[in-house]
Structure 1
């Protein structure tokens, strides 16, 4: 069985190959194209850049989030957000289209951490199990999340308890998805 890092790297390799085969470029909207993010390759127009996933050096640190929440985040979610910089990768799953979230730069890491804190505080207020989102779907009200206490992957309707279990782990989940063009998910 592949580790999370290996399965994520394999998916990225497949994604880059798929985009090359289909003559597509990974593109992202960049607020400040002149101030390059780690994965940024070229400025395409005023607010659009081409990019590719780049290993984080150093890896993102989530100790501030854990201290604020008095909670240890599941190792898979910390590793997922600590492996690569990027603008998000489109994928297809048997349940539909999705976009894997990624950290674009250090400012984006701070925003992600604030959103994770807000999400977990909401889950606590609703007396629901704590989850951390890692992907968006084509339905704005449904995200893909990791159940913090187990590492299992679920479909989650925003504001509701986890729904359908998709995988036992993020590494398992990566074996279920295939590259797809980003469709504004």
Structure 2
């Protein structure tokens, strides 16, 4: 996973260096540990950021116990690879934005999202949400086989877009 993310962030940096520096700018949030911030807040209250390989591992055991499930290992690996503010891009005709992993952002907020998802899915977590698609579809990981799908909640349908998170990250394009 770290290799795929490293490749993605290198590509993102190349494109940012070509003049799209907004790829590494986010609104400043004082609740986020300054570990990923670079430089000073600008006049629009934005700050540059950089991805940082994680050294501390988040333990998902209590979250899994609380939810009564085992979370697919690729999801846990995703959340334990890097600290970063944005991981997004295009696959096929879809714009995908995956969950950010920010220092000091508590796993509790992810737990709340999982609980809401579980409540909306007959108290089951057969899929684990990990992002959003540009038209409002949910990016989920199949909790059995790790494939990444787009969920259309209203139609109760799923479209496989990648065999796994690592493959998704590797194939994301930053330009249409």
Q: TM-score, normalised by structure 1?
A: 0.81
Aligned to 1:175: 170
**Aligned pairs (5 A) from 1:5-154:** 5-25=2-22, 26-32=24-30, 36-42=33-39, 43-45=41-43, 47-125=45-123, 130-140=126-136, 142-154=137-149
Distance 1:115 1:101 in 2: 11
Aligned residues: 174
Distance 2:88 2:55 in 1: 24
SS at match of 1:72: coil
Structure 1 unmatched ranges of 5 or more: none
- The root-mean-square deviation of aligned C-alpha atoms, in Å, is 2.4
Structure 2 unmatched ranges of 5 or more: none
- Contact 1:154 / 1:166 at 8 angstroms: preserved in 2? yes
Structure 1 residue 130: Cα displacement = 1.7
- Contact 2:25 / 2:49 at 8 angstroms: preserved in 1? yes
Q: TM-score, normalised by structure 2?
A: 0.85
Distance 1:180 1:60 in 2: 32
Gap change, CA 1:159 and 1:123, over 3 Å in 2: farther
Aligned to 1:164: 159
Structure 1 residue 87: Cα displacement = 1.5
- Contact 1:32 / 1:47 at 8 angstroms: preserved in 2? no
